[in-house]
Amino acid sequence: MRDFAAARRAMVDGQVRTSDVTNLALIAAMLEIPRERFVPEPMAPLAYLDRDLPLAGAGAGAARWLMKPMVLARLIQAADPGPQDRVLAVACGTGYAAAMLGRLAGRVVALEEDAGLAEKARSNLSGVGAGNVSVVTGPLDRGWPASGPYDVVLIDGGVETVPQALIDGMAPGGRLVCVVNAGPTGKGMYFQSVNGETGGRPLFDATLPVLPGFKNAPAFVF
């Protein structure tokens, strides 16, 4: 049987700490939460590799993945969720990122539009004792304004554009983190709302499959 606890330690030591992730609470969460629980069972032996893993049950043609540990850790560290913060995890998939956020923030709303993935997320989050995380179902690009505004928004997948609804759902001083793709390249990005204006800056190089509903509108070609 695979020693998943040892695999978690190797993941943290070999992928996370070496990528300038120093938040001790975040590192503790990554050491404790069983990532293998959040992937399809046949892929459990691959759960701690430095790669994005496809999630089952996402619907025909939808690009849904569990992002690699280093990318997720750096995004969460940049957002710096605290115990008083309300967090929105967009495209929560099977719930791994939401579980991580639940260890750091006061309250997490995990938004998923695929009913099958949402049900898996609920089961997984219950199984790891994430009682402060609520899974809701709805269109990803519309956010979940009923429980906002949010101090932190994490988009758990690649985007070409950040929908205005997610920006509008940020509290004053709120932070939004995601991976923005531009052709074959991309960047982990940090956005913050200050005095009614939202500005962004790149954090690191990264690419992820683009989530449904987060592509740029196609340009006309003459």
What is the mean predicted confidence (pLDDT) over 188-209?
91
First to last CA, the chain: 59
Q: What is the pLDDT of residues 83-129, one digit of tens each?
A: 999 999 999 999 999 999 999 999 999 999 999 999 999 999 999 99
Torsion of CA 37, 39, 42, 48, to 10 degrees: -80
Whole-number Å distance between alpha carbons of 94 and 40: 9
Q: Is 111 helix (H, G, I), strand (E, B) or coil?
A: strand
Q: pLDDT value at position 184?
A: 81
| Interacting residues of 194 by C-beta distance below 8 A, sequence separation 6+ | 172, 173
HSE-CB at 76 with a 13 A cutoff on CA atoms is 32
HSE-CB at 11 with a 13 A cutoff on CA atoms is 29
Q: What is the pLDDT of residues 138-161, one digit of tens each?
A: 999 999 999 999 999 999 999 999
Q: Three-state secondary structure along 136-171?
A: EECCHHHCCHHHCCEEEEEEEEEECCCCHHHHHCEE
How high is the mean pLDDT of the chain?
92
Q: Which CATH class is domain 4-205?
A: alpha beta
Question: How far, in Å, are 22, 68, 181, 182, 210 from residue 215 at the CA level?
Answer: 33, 21, 9, 10, 7
Whole-number Å distance between alpha carbons of 183 and 174: 28
Instruction: Please determine, for residue 218, whether its predicted confidence score (pLDDT) is greater than 80.
Output: no
Higher pLDDT among residues 176 and 62, named by residue: 176
Whole-number Å distance between alpha carbons of 164 and 154: 14
Q: What is the pLDDT of residues 57-84, one digit of tens each?
A: 444 444 689 999 999 999 999 999 999 9
Whole-number Å distance between alpha carbons of 6 and 48: 10
Q: What is the pLDDT of residues 9-41, one digit of tens each?
A: 999 999 999 999 999 999 999 999 999 999 999
Domain residue extents for the chain: 4-205
